[in-house]
Amino acid sequence: MATDTAWGWAAIAYMNWQIAVISISAYLLFSIVKAVIVHQRSPISKRYPTKKKSRTLGLSLDIKEDLYRIGD
């Protein structure tokens, strides 16, 4: 009976270890994906300064400027 309890606790501990590893991996993956998305959403004009000023006053992305930068 004692060995069954020991094996039960061992199985629970192993499952908790697996859950912890999966949780940490998921958190790291989520953090990386979030960082990439936030980086992608930043306007191209901030990453590559140009002389042309945006007329949108920061309310939306300046599509024309982005298209000009893609053509470079």
Q: What is the pLDDT of residue 45?
A: 57
Q: Which domain holds residue 16?
A: 2-71
Residue 58 phi/psi, 5-degree rounding, is: 80, 5
Q: What is the pLDDT of residue 69?
A: 56
Please give the tally of structural domains in the chain: 1
The answer to whether 66 touches 46, Cβ cutoff 8 Å, is no
Q: What is the pLDDT of residue 27?
A: 93
Whole-prediction pTM: 0.43
pLDDT (tens place) for every residue of the chain, 72 residues total: 566 788 887 888 888 888 889 999 999 999 999 888 887 776 655 655 555 555 555 555 555 555 555 555
